[in-house]
Amino acid sequence: MKKKILVTGGAGYIGSHVIKALGEKGYEILIYDNLSTGYKELVLYGELVIGDIADITVFDRVIEDFKPDAVMHFAASIQVHESVLNPLKYYRNNTINTLNLVELLLKKKIRHFIFSSTAAVYGTPESTEPVSELSLLKPINPYGASKMAVEYMLKDLSPVEKDFNYISLRYFNVAGADQEGRIGQKYHEATHLITRCLKAAKAEISRLEIYGTDYSTPDGTCIRDYIHVDDIAEAHIVALEYLFKKSINDIFNCGYGHGYSVREVVKTAKEVTGVDFPVEEAGRRAGDPPYLVADNTKIREELGWKPKHDDLSYIVKTAWNWEKKL
């Protein structure tokens, strides 16, 4: 029989690409999403149920009816700058709602859980070396702190609930789109650098702003590890299949192990689009570390994850092909 996977937030950007990967693998999928930042048309496989995880009574009934073998949890608020301005929203949606979800899974005796975490838990690394899963956790914004709180909760739970197993995946900067252009990033107000570059190239925004040019990096702008969304999706498949085989509780970085500065991304976006869009330098943005790059040794060696799209031009090209369709 096909394994049944329940995916919260599966109509969103990353969730929809994971749904695509699950569908292509033949899993039976139920998507639970309130469509606050997701879209029906991004769901290529499975059944979509519109609902909010905060409505625990409805969610309880959905789980009872579907009886999943595993749950993947993407439903969360993810904008760093917004989290600084509205921290309670992030603790409520990301931390409290996840706690309630996990309690429900324990009640229903659902053993396998994949949690969508973030590199924001690392805050500002003390060196310019890639951060490993053992690096100090010191988030500098409520978004990262809300995700870190869930990781601590899961860690503390694991010795007590021995039949409950989880993998937490810490994403670095996810970008790009489905190679065939079927799905991609579709936020109401895009804040991701690559997407904003492309919207500037389309003249949907008047200019691209670079937030901070005086960081202690080679060109003064922030450096990030950009990973293609299809490689993130494949990491979830690898993690899920590993979790079905082995009872573990663990955390893995999802990144390529090297980074690009904001200026390098802008340069690549201009080359891919062929548009010399306007760029304006602005002051630093609250909650931005200067350097954040993954040490991905653990996920490669322990889970056997093999990324296929480690190419900034390819990432931007797939995002551009999708953006032109919107």
Angle subtended at Cα 248 by Cα 247 and Cα 249, rounded to the nearest 5 degrees:
140
Mean pLDDT, residues 219-247 taken together: 97
The 10s digit of each residue's pLDDT in 168-195 is 999 999 999 999 999 999 876 778 999 9
Distance CA 84, CA 63 (A): 33
pLDDT > 70: what percent of the chain?
99
The 10s digit of each residue's pLDDT in 266-290 is 999 999 999 999 999 999 987 678 8
Q: What pLDDT score does 81 carry?
A: 82
Q: What pLDDT score does 160 carry?
A: 96
Q: Is the pLDDT of residue 1 over 80?
A: no
Q: Is the pLDDT of residue 324 over 80?
A: yes
Number of neighbouring beta carbons within 10 Å of residue 71: 26
Q: Is the pLDDT of residue 123 over 80?
A: yes
Q: What pLDDT score does 128 carry?
A: 83
Q: What pLDDT score does 80 carry?
A: 83
Q: What pLDDT score does 126 carry?
A: 78
Catalytic sites, residue numbers: 143
Instruction: Answer whether 72's CB lies under 8 Å from 117's CB.
Output: no
Q: What pLDDT score does 62 carry?
A: 97
Q: What pLDDT score does 165 carry?
A: 97
The 10s digit of each residue's pLDDT in 15-28 is 999 999 999 999 99
Q: Is the pLDDT of residue 41 over 90?
A: yes
Mean pLDDT, residues 196-222 taken together: 95
Instruction: Answer whether 212's CB lies under 8 Å from 124's CB.
Output: no
Structural domains in the chain, sorted by start? 4-175+226-254 (3.40.50.720), 193-224+257-323 (3.90.25.10)
Could you tell me the pTM of the whole model? Answer: 0.95
The 10s digit of each residue's pLDDT in 42-87 is 999 999 999 999 999 999 999 999 999 999 999 999 988 889 899 9
Q: What pLDDT score does 247 carry?
A: 87
Query: Please, what is the average pLDDT of the chain?
Result: 95
Distance CA 168, CA 34 (A): 23
Q: What pLDDT score does 287 carry?
A: 66
Q: What pLDDT score does 171 carry?
A: 97
Q: What pLDDT score does 224 carry?
A: 96
Q: What pLDDT score does 319 carry?
A: 97
